[in-house]
Amino acid sequence: MEELEQLGIIPVDYAVLRSLFVGYHSPRNKIANLEQAGKIIRLKRGMYVVSPEVSKQLLSLELIANHIYGPSYVSMESALRYYGLIPEQVYTVRSLTTNRSKSFENSIANFEYITTNDAYYAIGIKQETIENRYTFLIATPEKALCDMITTTPHLRIQSEKALVAYLKEDLRFDMSSLEVIDFNIVKECLEVGKKKEALQILLNFLES
């Protein structure tokens, strides 16, 4: 499986896989057999990742999320959990995108993408590099929190008390981390984002 090992954990499309097996009589059958044997995992139609048992590396849900649908960056509970700011395990990897909202399900996880406008999308994204092996786009903690507030359906925050209850009881957010929150990112989100009243309450709370 040397051909597959060289791919590591980077998701690849069908054309890349096919190029590895051009010497075979039927590359299509070879790829189908590899998938059936669990050597590669189908992420969506035409996109695969090498199984950890072959690559000998753990898969990155964040990296996969970036590749499945884009442009996108990992955010909301997924980002907050990544930073250790909320304790609960996250079973759906949620991202923001400038494309239309969409969701994907595969054997690895569920992936949900929520649409937003270009101006809001561009705020508070960082490129995370893991051991100089791969990179992915993820919201900063501040942006992930703003994304939670602006994209969660039926969430209405109309007072500081309601905000604190949401952070402590619903998210079980690490309140001590608020001391190092970047106010400027929240201000930028307030300027171009939805739910301005709720974001203003968040900003006032952080500055107080």
pLDDT in tens, 195-206: 999 999 999 999
pLDDT score recorded for residue 1: 63
**Residue ranges of the chain whose pLDDT lies below 70:** 1
pLDDT digit string, tens, across residues 109-130: 999 999 999 999 999 999 999 9
Task: Indicate the average pLDDT of the chain.
Answer: 95
Residues 182 and 140: their CA atoms lie apart, in Å, by 9
pLDDT score recorded for residue 22: 84
Residues 136 and 34: their CA atoms lie apart, in Å, by 27
Measured between alpha carbons, how far is residue 178 from residues 14, 29, 144, 167, 202 in Å? Answer: 44, 53, 13, 11, 11
pLDDT digit string, tens, across residues 155-174: 999 999 999 999 999 999 99
